[in-house]
A and B are shown apart, each in its own frame.
Chain A
Amino acid sequence: MNSRDLILGRVRRALADVPRDDTPYEQAVDRDYLREHGNRSVEETVELLAENLADYRAIVHRCPADELPALLAGILAARGSASVLVPPGLPPEWLSAADTAQVEDRAVSTVYDLDGVDSVVTACALAVAETGTIVLDGGPDQGRRRITLVPDHHICVVRVPDQVVSSVPQAFERLDPARPLTWISGPSATSDIELDRVEGVHGPRTLEVVLVSAADR
């Protein structure tokens, strides 16, 4: 007998006490937990996102859409970044004001190439206010998973309020499980040494989040 059949057989024998007409999944789980915590206006939800991002040591900026290129150029200049990784589908105007050298993530580029780049700018799939989380789903304006991992400085642009959800349950409703997802809450951190939180281990040590509001609002 192969191990698959062996294990499945063991499982079935182990469950001999369970009636086969047991409650179906839909009825087995009460979902009377909340879809979101608290009643907030759209503005308050965005405010909470900003607060929780900052609480986990992300640097938060806010601006209207027409000021985004200048803000991004300013962030890169202040950091002294000589090069910035750009996902293939990033709106070109976002970096139109930056004089930092733009690097594409090509199929042939090695991780050593990426390791030499100073910063990366991406959009996101959505952001979760209650937890201060941004979620990337590998879309064209976010690029492959590795580009937001290897460089030490990640700038992520969130369109508010469209891309902001209140809670974790609302996030799962909107995300596609078939895509590779990366949930990011603050920069890389560890609490392994005496439970003292230290930011920056293997992922980017600096996370800057730009909450950009539509120009016509």
Chain B
Amino acid sequence: MSGTFVGMPAFPKAAHEAVNNQTLRGNLRHATHTIRGKREKAVAELADWAELREAGKRIKDHTLRHLDRYLVQLEESVTAAGGIVHWAADADEANRIVIDLVRMTGESEVVKVKSMATQEIGLNEALEAEGIAAYETDLAELIVQLGKDRPSHILVPAIHRNRGEIRDIFAREMSEWGRPAPEGLTDTPAELAEAARLHLREKFLRAKVGVSGANFMVADTGTLVVVESEGNGRMCLTLPETLISVVGIEKIVPTWRDLEVFLQTLPRSSTAERMNPYTSTWTGTTDGDGPQTFHLVLIDNGRTDTLADEVGRQALRCIRCSACLNVCPVYERAGGHAYGSVYPGPIGAILSPQLRGIASEIDASLPYASSLCGACYEVCPVAIDIPEVLVHLRERVVEGGPVTREGNKVVLKPAKGHAAERAAMRAARWAFSHPGALRTGQRLASRTRRFHPRTLPGPGKAWSATRDLPPVPAEPFRDWWQRTDGGKDTTK
């Protein structure tokens, strides 16, 4: 996916380090708890939330089940409205297309609207390698870019930073990229936002090329939609002469009317607002208003492989609201970086291993980055059953089985490192079907309990490294039951 995350350790190791970072935990706890409470209030304002959620789910499911038809229809309507459609099978091809399009304009810099898709394909790094500067214009993305950091949240990528850290980054780094931070910059959010405004305005006003993603694409009208708060999106979509939008193929809705569902559920689920401050829609180009050249780059990059998985394809319903991150007890403690992907949290734990496959250690560990508490499913505005997909992917990791990679059906081998788990399960199966052996084993365990180590030796070490071993009781339950007649005889 993105080059940014190559070499990430598996989730348990990364999470272990994050959990010991007190500042990070404090910042995250404050942020996720704040937005959790607000979201509940915003959702409670709509009496028909359950119906909206069901409609959103069905619209997306229907679209995915006929994705070929809607992609062709979208291409026709965007073309008819004056846009140019490109198709990219993977990240490299998408980056190549964008680089060529920027080259054709003769420009060497672009302004960018925050976009998950372009982060996923590592577009900024690819542009930089070709001598094209890409300026992130969302405040949080600016903080991440100036801090030479990685995003840790879908919606508020700099959520792991507090105001003091942001002030230091601005004061230190802004002059490297353009207008320096004002003298004596304090850490009040208003002053920091003002510094970003001044720094970015010079870039907006001179920009000739804008790069965006899109929250939705409407098949029957060819309309693209960007939902945002700051106005940086409007700047990038309005002022440049050329606009290049890079969008995943799953972001389609069939009709204009479908937007009435998502523009109610998305803002309330993400920022917990009735409506986000700005939403822009554009249908091809408009004479004399906004960009006069519009390119749409449709990217696959693992999406069709995800679509091929009958259980896992529901992850493609995701509208990137990030509600699941904010309620997740694992995300709250581990932070976004531990997931090793631009998609952190519960949705990332099912999306990344499907988009990228589970060949790497980090991707094989992600289906385990959950307590399966189900809170993510409860808040999801398109009702993605994240726990169901997590369990399904765990089975794939441990047992192997049929998957689709780059359009080809392959049979996945069981992942390494789970041999002990499989052996333990086989041993348990044998013990439970041999009651005599089980009884003997349990009694032996009880009598020797004072000598048990706190961690498991050998292959069991991996398991006990992240968990406390449960204490062994002084007496097996079955012995206690027999001795006390099921607890009735308390004299014994």
Query: Are the C-beta atoms of A201 and B239 separated by less than 8 Å?
Result: no
User: How far is the CB of B92 from the nearest CB of chain A, in Å?
Assistant: 11
Query: Are the C-beta atoms of B67 and A15 separated by less than 8 Å?
Result: yes
Query: Are the C-beta atoms of A201 and B230 separated by less than 8 Å?
Result: yes
Most B-side CB within 10 Å, residue of A6, A112, A171, A203? A203
Query: Are the C-beta atoms of A201 and B47 separated by less than 8 Å?
Result: no
Residue of A nearest to B166 (CB): A193
Chain A residues lying within 8 Å of B156, measured Cβ to Cβ, are 191-192, 195
B87 interface contact, C-beta 8 A:
yes
Chain B residues lying within 8 Å of A188, measured Cβ to Cβ, are 229-231, 277-278
Q: List A174-189 residues whose CB lies under 8 Å from chain B.
A: 177-189
Contact of B93 among A3, A191, A204 (CB under 8 A): A3
- One of B28-36, B388-396, B410-418, B452-460 at the interface: B28-36
A128 to B275 Cα, complex, angstroms = 10
Contact of B48 among A6, A37, A146 (CB under 8 A): A37
A50 to B45 Cα, complex, angstroms = 17
Q: List B145-161 residues whose CB lies under 8 Å from chain A.
A: 156, 158-159
Query: Are the C-beta atoms of A22 and B189 separated by less than 8 Å?
Result: no
A104 interface contact, C-beta 8 A:
no
Instruction: From known contacts A130-B274, A177-B221, A191-B271, infer whether A3 and B229 are also in contact, taking CB-CB under 8 Å.
Output: no
A108 to B298 Cα, complex, angstroms = 34
Residue of B nearest to A52 (CB): B274
Instruction: From known contacts A146-B239, A172-B259, infer whether A6 and B163 are also in contact, taking CB-CB under 8 Å.
Output: no
A6 to B353 Cα, complex, angstroms = 22
A52 to B221 Cα, complex, angstroms = 30
Contact of A17 among B158, B162, B201, B310 (CB under 8 A): B310
Chain A residues lying within 8 Å of B310, measured Cβ to Cβ, are 17
Chain B residues lying within 8 Å of A183, measured Cβ to Cβ, are 263, 275, 278-280
**Chain A interface size, under 10 / 10 to 19 / 20 to 34 / 35 or more:** 35 or more
A187 to B67 Cα, complex, angstroms = 37
A33 to B54 Cα, complex, angstroms = 9
B286 interface contact, C-beta 8 A:
yes
- One of B135-143, B173-181, B469-477, B481-489 at the interface: B135-143
Query: Are the C-beta atoms of B264 and A200 separated by less than 8 Å?
Result: no
Contact of A131 among B48, B140, B193, B275 (CB under 8 A): B275
Query: Are the C-beta atoms of B407 and A13 separated by less than 8 Å?
Result: yes
- One of B58-66, B337-345, B371-379, B434-442 at the interface: B58-66
Chain B residues lying within 8 Å of A18, measured Cβ to Cβ, are 65-66
User: How far is the CB of B77 from the nearest CB of chain A, in Å?
Assistant: 10
A130 to B42 Cα, complex, angstroms = 12
Q: List A1-29 residues whose CB lies under 8 Å from chain B.
A: 2-4, 6-15, 17-18, 22-23, 25, 28-29
A132 to B264 Cα, complex, angstroms = 13
* Total B residues in contact with A, Cβ cutoff 8 Å: 100
B186 interface contact, C-beta 8 A:
no
Chain A residues lying within 8 Å of B276, measured Cβ to Cβ, are 185
B196 interface contact, C-beta 8 A:
yes
Query: Are the C-beta atoms of A7 and B51 separated by less than 8 Å?
Result: no
A182 to B166 Cα, complex, angstroms = 31
The prevalent SS among residues of B at the interface is helix
A194 interface contact, C-beta 8 A:
yes
Once A and B bind, how many residue pairs between them come within 8 Å at the CB atom? 251
Residue of B nearest to A197 (CB): B189
Contact of A107 among B190, B229, B288 (CB under 8 A): B288
Chain A residues lying within 8 Å of B120, measured Cβ to Cβ, are none
B55 interface contact, C-beta 8 A:
yes
Query: Are the C-beta atoms of B288 and A180 separated by less than 8 Å?
Result: no
User: How far is the CB of A167 from the nearest CB of chain B, in Å?
Assistant: 8
- One of B300-308, B361-369, B424-432 at the interface: B300-308
Query: Are the C-beta atoms of B277 and A56 separated by less than 8 Å?
Result: yes
Contact of A138 among B193, B205, B289 (CB under 8 A): B289
User: How far is the CB of A155 from the nearest CB of chain B, in Å?
Assistant: 17
Query: Are the C-beta atoms of B189 and A198 separated by less than 8 Å?
Result: yes
Query: Are the C-beta atoms of A172 and B256 separated by less than 8 Å?
Result: yes
Instruction: From known contacts A10-B407, A195-B156, infer whether A185 and B59 are also in contact, taking CB-CB under 8 Å.
Output: no
Instruction: From known contacts A10-B304, A189-B230, A192-B140, infer whether A202 and B200 are also in contact, taking CB-CB under 8 Å.
Output: yes
Chain B residues lying within 8 Å of A180, measured Cβ to Cβ, are 280-283, 286, 289-290
Query: Are the C-beta atoms of A112 and B197 separated by less than 8 Å?
Result: no
User: How far is the CB of A11 from the nearest CB of chain B, in Å?
Assistant: 4
Chain B residues lying within 8 Å of A190, measured Cβ to Cβ, are 139, 193, 229-230
Chain B residues lying within 8 Å of A44, measured Cβ to Cβ, are none
User: How far is the CB of A142 from the nearest CB of chain B, in Å?
Assistant: 10
A143 to B137 Cα, complex, angstroms = 25
A179 to B258 Cα, complex, angstroms = 17
User: How far is the CB of B232 from the nearest CB of chain A, in Å?
Assistant: 5
Instruction: From known contacts A180-B281, A193-B163, infer whether A202 and B68 are also in contact, taking CB-CB under 8 Å.
Output: no
Q: List 26 A-B contacts (CB under 8 A).
A: A3-B89, A11-B71, A15-B68, A18-B65, A23-B62, A37-B46, A37-B48, A56-B274, A115-B201, A146-B290, A177-B218, A177-B221, A180-B280, A181-B279, A182-B280, A183-B280, A190-B230, A192-B138, A192-B139, A193-B189, A194-B189, A198-B193, A201-B193, A201-B232, A202-B230, A203-B234
The 4 closest A-B pairs by CB, nearest first: A203-B231, A14-B308, A202-B231, A10-B304
Q: Contacts A11-B304, A14-B313 known; list 20 others, CB within 8 Å.
A: A2-B87, A22-B65, A30-B54, A32-B55, A37-B46, A145-B237, A149-B234, A181-B281, A182-B234, A183-B263, A185-B275, A188-B231, A189-B229, A190-B193, A192-B139, A192-B156, A193-B193, A201-B196, A202-B231, A202-B234
